Amino acid sequence: MTNRVVVTGLGVVSPIGIGREAFWQALMDGKNGIDKITRFDAADYPSQIAGEVKDFNPADFIDKKESKRMDRYAQFAVAASAMALKDAGIDLEKEDKDRIGTYIGAGIGGIETMHSQYEKLFAKGQRFISPFFIPMMIANMAAAQTAITFGLHGPSSCNVTACATGSNCIGDALRVLQRGDADVMVAGGTEASVSPAAVAGFCSMKALCTDHNDDPAHASRPFDKNRSGFVMGEGSGIVVLETLEHAQKRGAHIYAELAGYGSNSDAYHITSPAPEGEYQAKCMQLAIEDAGLTPDDIDYVNAHGTSTHMNDQGETEACKKVFGARAKDVPVSSIKSMTGHLLGAAGGVECIASVLAVENDMLPPTINYETQDDGMDLDYVPNKSRAHKVRAAISNNFGFGGHNACLVVKKFSE
C-alpha cells in the first residue's frame, strides 16, 4: 500500500508576484508580467522582452553573506522554499529533518554566473576566476542550498529536463513519499536565465517572440492564431508535499492531494514535439491513470502553452486525444501568457496555479487570446479568470528533447 500525498505549502517567485497571495491575485486579475529586458542591454537582440522578477531582495529570505555565494536561480529557489515552508506551518525544530527532503531542479542552472565568469576569464585570465564559480553555476545547487539553509537531511536530488524540470521534480518527490522514504518533501523548479547568452541562444533558434518588442504586454499569446514564439521568464515555484498521515498528525492545512504523475519521452527531436501530440497525450493518460481517475474526472488543464506554433497545436491535439468528445468542455489555459516561459521553473509555478485552481474553484485565464486558429477550438479561458468547479486538474509540461511530465492534483477528501 502506498502513502497518499498532499500539498501543504506553496512558495512562488514570479514576474507577476512574489508569494502565494500576490501570485494568485495577479493570476485572477490577468496581470501581465512581461516588459522590456532590464537585466542587460538587449537593444541589438531580435527579442528584447522578458518576464523579469521585479523587487526581489534575496536578503529578505537569505543571509546576506550566503546569498552572495548563490546564483540568482538558487536565490529564487531558497526564497520560494522559505515561503513554502512558512506557508505549511512546519516547525523544523520539532521535525525529524532526516525525513525531510529536497527535489529542486533547474533547466539550465547558474548561467548568469557562467556568463560573468567567462567574461572575467577572457578579459583578465584564469587567476581571476571566483572560487565560487563552480558551486554557483552547477544545476544541483538549488536543491543543495535549500537543504543546507534549512538543515534538511532527507533525499535530495535535481532533475534537469528542460521545461519539464519542475514537474519531474515534484513527481519524483511524490514517489519518494509514496514509498515512505520521507515524510515531507520540498519540491519544484527554479530558473534565472534572462541573460545575454541564454536570450541570444533562444533567438538563434528562432524560438522567441520578436514582433512585439514595442508592445511587450501582448507578446505571449498561447493558442492565439497570431502567436509568434515564447517569451523568456524567470522565477521559482516550490511546493511542500507531505504524506497524508504526517500532515494530519500535525493538523496541517491541506490545499489539495497530489494524486498522479506521468512521465515519458517523445524520442523524436531535440526541440520539436512529436507530431499530433501523440506522446503528450500518452503522458497525460499516464498521470490520470496513476491518480486512479479517468479523463471524465478532469475539470481543468493547466497547459504547457508556450505560445509557439508547434507546441500549442500539439497540446491542443493531445487534449482532444485524451478527452475525446468532451474536449471542448474541459477548460485549458496557459499562465505563460502572463509570466512568460519560466523554463525549469515552469512546472513548479504552474503546479501551484493548478493547486490554487482546485482549492478555489477558479481558473486563471489565457490573456492576449483574440483570434481562433484553424483546428484549435478548445475553451482556452480567454482573457478573464472564471469560476469553475474543479474536482481535479492536470498540469502539463513538455521540455526540449521530448521530456514530458504531467501532474494531477485533486480536491482532498478523507
Residue 154: its pLDDT value, please?
A: 99
Q: Smallest Cα–Cα separation from 404: which of 237, 283, 260, 276?
A: 283
Is beta strand 100-106 parallel, antiparallel or unpaired with respect to 184-191?
A: parallel
Q: What is the mean pLDDT of residues 332-358?
A: 99
Q: How confident is the model at residue 358 (pLDDT cuts 50, 70, 90)?
A: very high
Q: How confident is the model at residue 256 (pLDDT cuts 50, 70, 90)?
A: very high
pLDDT at 1 over 80: no
Distance CA 6, CA 398 (A): 24
As annotated, the active-site residues are 163
377-390 pLDDT, tens digit each: 999 999 999 999 99
Distance CA 367, CA 97 (A): 42
Note the CATH number of domain 5-250. 3.40.47.10
What length is written for the chain?
414
Q: How many CB atoms lie within 10 A of CB 351?
A: 31
Distance CA 308, CA 200 (A): 17
Q: What is the mean pLDDT of residues 344-362?
A: 99
Contacts for 300 with CB less than 8 Å, ≥ 6 apart:
330, 331, 332, 333, 354, 357, 358, 363, 388, 390, 392, 393, 394
Let me know if 319 is exposed, middle or buried by CB neighbors in 10 A (0-12, 13-18, 19+): buried
Residue 271: its pLDDT value, please?
A: 96
Q: What is the mean pLDDT of residues 138-165?
A: 98
For the 261-411 domain, the top CATH level (class) is: alpha beta
Domain chopping of the chain, boundaries: 5-250, 261-411
Distance CA 292, CA 240 (A): 22
pLDDT at 16 over 90: yes
| Backbone dihedral region for residue 324 (phi beyond 0: left; psi -120 to 50: alpha; all else: beta) | left
CB 286 within 8 A of CB 321: no
Q: Average pLDDT, whole number, for the chain?
A: 98
CB 192 within 8 A of CB 112: yes
36-75 pLDDT, tens digit each: 999 999 999 999 999 999 999 999 999 999 999 999 999 9
What is the largest distance, in Å, between two alpha-carbon atoms of the chain?
65
Q: Smallest Cα–Cα separation from 265: which of 282, 252, 251?
A: 282
Is beta strand 403-410 parallel, antiparallel or unpaired with respect to 256-265?
A: antiparallel
Q: How confident is the model at residue 233 (pLDDT cuts 50, 70, 90)?
A: very high
pTM greater than 0.95 (yes/no) = yes
Shared fold status for 5-250 and 261-411:
yes
Contacts for 17 with CB less than 8 Å, ≥ 6 apart:
23, 24, 25, 26, 31
Residue 76: its pLDDT value, please?
A: 99
Q: What is the mean pLDDT of residues 223-251?
A: 99
Q: Smallest Cα–Cα separation from 296: which of 334, 262, 327?
A: 327
Q: What is the mean pLDDT of residues 203-226?
A: 98
Residue 274: its pLDDT value, please?
A: 94
Q: What is the mean pLDDT of residues 82-98?
A: 98
Residue 379: its pLDDT value, please?
A: 99
CB 101 within 8 A of CB 154: yes
Residue 402: its pLDDT value, please?
A: 98
3-state secondary structure of 261: strand
Residue 400: its pLDDT value, please?
A: 97
3 state SS for 289-344:
HHCCCCHHHCCEEECCCCCCHHHHHHHHHHHHHHHHHHHHHCCEECCHHHHCECHH
CA distance readout (Å), 156 to 60, 84, 136, 272: 25, 17, 17, 31
pLDDT at 31 over 80: yes
> Any idea which residue has 536561480 for its cell?
73
For the chain, percent of residues with pLDDT exceeding 90: 99
Kind and range of the H or E run holding 14: strand 5-14
Distance CA 156, CA 97 (A): 12
CA distance readout (Å), 43 to 61, 90, 200: 33, 46, 12
Angle of helix 20-29 relative to helix 346-360, nearest 10 degrees, comes to: 80
3-state secondary structure of 10: strand
3-state secondary structure of 183: coil
Terminal Cα distance for the chain, rounded: 16
Q: Which amino acid is at 200?
A: A
Q: What is the mean pLDDT of residues 206-227?
A: 98
Residue 203: its pLDDT value, please?
A: 98
Residue 326: its pLDDT value, please?
A: 98
Residue 208: its pLDDT value, please?
A: 99
Q: How many CB atoms lie within 10 A of CB 200?
A: 15
Q: How confident is the model at residue 206 (pLDDT cuts 50, 70, 90)?
A: very high
Residue 92: its pLDDT value, please?
A: 98
